[in-house]
């Protein structure tokens, strides 16, 4: 019988791409999403892309215990949970820390309590490379010290610690995946990243400049201690990240109780902002006008993963190139100039 999974935040950017991969592999999915930062249209397109109807969508907030219980009751026993739901904007977390502690930590606690009540003790958690703060040694390994420098990353470290305790004391099986910078879109262009308002992140900003929605890119700082002076990140294709989730849940479901994995999910190859701009121009044949402005507060010079542990544990490694990330992100942008809001 197919495994049934609960996917919190399953209508979001990473969640929707992961749902396609899991449905194609025969899982039955219950998505719980408040749609605070996503659209139900994403889940409709996930059904269309996967050709599977085994996707059940509930609108609700993970902080509400009754809503979470309803998600567990709606189809029958849940074998495991992938927990994407949360807030992710660094600047917003500085401006409104209580909201971040509430949604990210308290939301995770409510979810974990409902799981414990049902003896559903297998969980994949969305953590982040920003838990490493402003590191000096590269590439980053999972045993590199965590030193979060803003409330967003602090909430992620706290949830990782809460989950570690559940593995030790309550026989849970947990993987905390520390994502580096997921970008791109499903190659069909049917699902992708759909930021509200002005994008915070580099990739959606570049695709909106390419589409003529914004006049030019502002590069935040060219005086970092990096070869060309712009910030370095480890960008990975969102489909590679989706595959990492399916490898992780299938691995966890076979493990003994008391398993806790912490895994970096990146390519191992850092790229500067200028390299990304040039890569996008090569992939699309377009020109991206830019100006260099002041550094953005809270940005670090460099984040770059050592992805070896994920390969050793899961047999997973990122496969897609920068060219594919740019091409697929651009396909999505062109087909959906205003994201899901333009969708019929
Ligand atoms: P996203 O905003 O597209 O997806 C998050 C989803 O959670 C959205 O659909 C949103 O509506 C939902 N949600 C938010 N609050 C909720 C609540 N209280 N109850 C129920 N649903 C709620 O973001 P994403 O990029 O897909 O990120 C998914 C997860 O990965 C997040 O936890 C994020 O912190 C983490 N992460 C993202 C990145 C990145 O660069 N995108 C990097 C590292 C970690
Ligand atoms: N950048 C610009 N101009 C822009 C946007 C970004 O120059 O308009 C630069 C940034 O200064 C940085 C790089 O592009 O050097 C990447 O910035 P992003 O905003 O795309 O990504 P971040 O690394 O700042 O943060 C992202 C997510 C976090 C997540 C983190 C994991 O926003 O939620 O990746 O590494 F935790």
Segment 144-189, tens digit of pLDDT: 999 999 999 999 999 999 999 999 999 999 999 999 999 999 999 9
Tell me how far the alpha carbon of residue 11 lies from the centroid of ligand 1, in angstroms. 9
Average pLDDT over residues 31-60: 98
Domain count, the chain: 1
Report the sign of the C-alpha dihedral through residues 53, 59, 62, 64, in that order.
Answer: negative
Buried b (16+ CB within 10 A) or exposed e, 146-172: bebbbbbbbbbbbbbeebeebbeeeeb
Do the Cβ atoms of 5 and 30 come closer than 8 Å?
yes
Residue 288 lies in a domain: no
- Locate 306 and state its tokens: 């050592």
57-90 pLDDT, tens per residue? Answer: 999 999 999 999 999 999 999 999 999 999 999 9
Residue 309 lies in a domain: yes
Does pLDDT of 278 surpass 50? yes
The CATH number of the domain holding residue 160 is: 3.40.50.720
Closest residue by CA, ligand 1 atom 4:
12
Does pLDDT of 256 surpass 50? yes
- The answer to whether 235 is a known catalytic residue is no
Tell me how far the alpha carbon of residue 241 lies from the centroid of ligand 2, in angstroms. 17
pLDDT classification of 2: cutoffs 50, 70, 90: confident
Does pLDDT of 49 surpass 60? yes
Q: Kindly state if the Cβ of 61 falls inside 6 Å of ligand 2.
A: no
Do the Cβ atoms of 152 and 90 come closer than 8 Å?
yes
Distances (CA, A) of 231 to 149, 201, 224: 17, 13, 6
Do the Cβ atoms of 179 and 252 come closer than 8 Å?
no
Do the Cβ atoms of 131 and 178 come closer than 8 Å?
yes
pLDDT at 344: 47
pLDDT at 98: 98
State the closest ligand 2 atom to the C-alpha of 219, by its place in the atom list counted from 1: 7
Cα 51 to Cα 143: distance, rounded to the nearest angstrom: 40
pLDDT classification of 33: cutoffs 50, 70, 90: very high
220-240 pLDDT, tens per residue? Answer: 999 999 999 999 999 999 999
pTM of the shown model: 0.98
Residue 284 lies in a domain: no
Name every residue whose Cβ is closer than 8 Å to that of residue 16 and which is 6 or more positions away in sequence.
10, 38, 42, 43, 45, 46, 191
How far apart are the two ends of the chain, measured CA to CA in Å? 35
pLDDT at 65: 98
101-133 pLDDT, tens per residue? Answer: 999 999 999 999 999 999 999 999 999 999 999
Q: Which of 27, 132, 152, 235 is catalytic?
A: 152
Distances (CA, A) of 38 to 159, 174, 195, 196, 252: 23, 26, 8, 9, 28
Which ligand has the nearest atom to the CA of 232?
Answer: 2
pLDDT at 341: 87
State the closest ligand 1 atom to the C-alpha of 88, by its place in the atom list counted from 1: 34
Could you tell me which residues are beta bridge partners of residue 6? 30, 81
Cα 142 to Cα 128: distance, rounded to the nearest angstrom: 11
Helices marked H in the chain: 13-24, 40-50, 65-73, 90-95, 97-100, 107-117, 151-170, 202-210, 238-252, 273-284, 308-314, 322-335
324-338 pLDDT, tens per residue? Answer: 999 999 999 999 999
Range of the domain at 88: 4-183+236-266+304-314
pLDDT at 342: 67
Residue 43 lies in a domain: yes
pLDDT at 1: 67
Average pLDDT over residues 284-310: 97
Tell me how far the alpha carbon of residue 85 lies from the centroid of ligand 1, in angstroms. 5
Report the sign of the C-alpha dihedral through residues 240, 19, 194, 156, in that order.
Answer: negative
Which ligand has the nearest atom to the CA of 89?
Answer: 2
Do the Cβ atoms of 32 and 65 come closer than 8 Å?
no
Cα 183 to Cα 338: distance, rounded to the nearest angstrom: 17
Average pLDDT over residues 255-284: 97
Closest CA to 35 of 15, 53, 6, 5: 15
Closest CA to 331 of 179, 110, 183, 112: 183
Residue 161 lies in a domain: yes
Name the average pLDDT for the chain.
Answer: 97
Tell me how far the alpha carbon of residue 50 lies from the centroid of ligand 2, in angstroms. 30
pLDDT classification of 343: cutoffs 50, 70, 90: very low
Residue 106 lies in a domain: yes
Do the Cβ atoms of 4 and 75 come closer than 8 Å?
yes
Does pLDDT of 257 surpass 90? yes
Residue 146 lies in a domain: yes
Closest residue by CA, ligand 2 atom 14:
202
- Locate 231 and state its tokens: 């910030």
Residue 64 lies in a domain: yes
Helix (H, G, I), strand (E, B), or coil: what is residue 304?
coil
Name every residue whose Cβ is closer than 8 Å to that of residue 74 and which is 6 or more positions away in sequence.
30, 56, 58
């Amino acid at each position: 019988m197919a495994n049934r999974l609960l996917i919190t935040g399953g209508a979001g950017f990473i969640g929707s791409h992961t749902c396609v991969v899991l449905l194609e592999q025969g899982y039955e999915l219950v998505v719980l999403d408040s749609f605070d930062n996503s659209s139900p249209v994403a889940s409709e397109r996930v059904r269309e892309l996967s050709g599977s109807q085994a996707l059940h969508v509930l609108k609700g907030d993970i902080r509400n215990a009754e809503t979470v219980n309803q998600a567990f009751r709606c189809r029958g026993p849940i074998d495991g949970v992938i927990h994407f739901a949360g807030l992710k904007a660094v600047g917003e977390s500085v401006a409104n820390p209580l909201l971040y502690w509430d949604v990210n930590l308290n939301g995770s606690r409510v979810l974990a309590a409902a799981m414990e009540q049902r003896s559903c003790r297998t969980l994949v958690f969305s953590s982040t490379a920003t838990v490493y703060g402003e590191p000096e040694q590269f590439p980053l390994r999972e045993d590199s010290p965590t030193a979060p420098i803003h409330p967003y990353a602090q909430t992620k470290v706290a949830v990782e610690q809460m989950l570690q305790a559940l593995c030790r004391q309550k026989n849970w099986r947990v993987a905390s995946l520390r994502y580096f910078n997921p970008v791109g879109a499903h190659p069909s262009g049917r699902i992708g990243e759909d930021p509200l308002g002005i994008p915070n992140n580099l990739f959606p900003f570049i695709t909106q400049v390419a589409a003529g929605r914004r006049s030019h890119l502002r590069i935040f700082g060219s005086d970092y201690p990096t070869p060309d002076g712009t910030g370095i990140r480890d960008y990975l294709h969102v489909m590679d990240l989706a595959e990492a989730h399916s490898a992780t849940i299938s691995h966890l479901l076979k493990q003994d109780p008391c398993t806790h994995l912490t895994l970096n999910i990146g390519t191992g190859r850092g790229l500067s902002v200028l390299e990304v701009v040039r890569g996008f121009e090569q992939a699309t044949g377009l020109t991206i006008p830019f100006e260099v402005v002041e550094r953005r507060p809270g940005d670090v010079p460099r984040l770059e993963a050592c992805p070896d542990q994920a390969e050793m544990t899961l047999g997973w490694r990122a496969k897609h190139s920068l060219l594919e990330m740019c091409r697929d992100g651009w396909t999505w942008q062109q087909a959906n100039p205003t994201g899901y809001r333009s969708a019929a």
